[in-house]
Amino acid sequence: MIPVKLAGIGGLAATAAVLAGCSGEAWTVTEQSSGVTSSLRGLSVVDDDTVWIGAPEGQVLRTVDGGASWQVSTVMSAEGADLRSAKGFDDQHALFATAGQPARILMTRDGGASFTTVWDDTSGSAFIDSLAFWDHSRGLAFSDPVDGSFLILRTVNGGESWQRLENLPAPLEGEAGFAASNSSIALTEDGCAFIGTGGGPVARILRSCDHGEHWDAVDTPLAAGSAGAGIFAVSTDRSGVLVASGGDYLSPAARAGNFAASTDRGESWEQADSPPFGYRSGIAGVGDQWISVGTSGVDVGSYAEGRFEWRESGWDIVAPNAIAFSPSGRIGWIIGADGGIWKLTPQ
């Protein structure tokens, strides 16, 4: 077991405002006191009360009371590592993956008091971009290519062990993933997986619909052709809409090629007439709304009659990186630069 250092932080709200979306719910946005100042990217929302966040310097944040308080743990052997991928199962059990080297996946079963390494890279070149699970047993981890091949790991025992998948599509020149928001992978209840890529001549979706047994790749119209361009986040909703969000993080205000949607599991893609307002690293849907986040702000979108419409939220949120909602859809969370955490509650 890997020891950790623990610290308790009060989560008293700093600010709150009532803000309306395009349609459906209006949201109260409440800023949290996280107790850290680093850029946060690894977000996992377990339920309305429990949230896990991975952070730089080997830190892990957890709330079990809806943000009223936050506990900060430091994984001693991972000090200096950036934990950009996270998956919480309950208030005690969670997984985190490092971005960069040394690449490893860590598990806690005691609320962050201690951690065990459940996967350790032996190649010296893996870079994990995202973690996602279909259920409490089956999940995937996605890494940049290793030795000329994509690295996708699969677990069937809740992350206790991991196996590398074979027979994956070959990466294009420069193609990889982005560890920007723990959102590179989207999974569906019927066993599909969609993984976004970038950095190559075309931004693609790696796709499987049998829990990772077989894969293919489909092209998307998102920005491509440079190291900073591509798909940064993928998400789905219960109606079957699949969305890809991104752009070029080196051009944070550019709107071209930052969003597309598919209703046929990625076979064809439709761009929005009015896309989000810049590079977007995270996206999530709840009810009839979608919310996208990126360094230049937050946008609220609606989907009706096969078309998306986006507008700027006007929310006082600075440099957000990631967004996720609780399974109930009642609570949302946004995390970002300078230890920023914001809670969304419906009005």
129-151 pLDDT, tens digit each: 999 999 999 999 999 999 999 99
Task: Name which of 42-46, 158-162, 299-303 the model is least confident about.
Answer: 299-303
8 Å CB contact between 152 and 165? yes
What's residue 79's pLDDT? 80
* Helix/strand/coil percent split, the chain, to 5: 0, 50, 50
pTM here is: 0.94
Q: Token digits for 253?
A: 């205000």
**Which is it for strands 94-99 and 216-219: parallel, antiparallel or unpaired?**
unpaired
Residue type at 11 in one-letter notation = G
> Could you give all domains of the chain from N- to C-terminal order, each with its CATH number?
2-346 (2.130.10.10)
8 Å CB contact between 311 and 302? no
Q: Read off the pLDDT of each residue in 139-166 and give the average, rounded to a whole number.
A: 98
Is residue 336 pLDDT above 70, yes or no? yes
- Work out the percent of the chain whose per-residue pLDDT is above 90: 87
What is the 8-class DSSP label of residue 198?
B
CA distance readout (Å), 322 to 68, 103, 119, 175: 20, 21, 25, 22
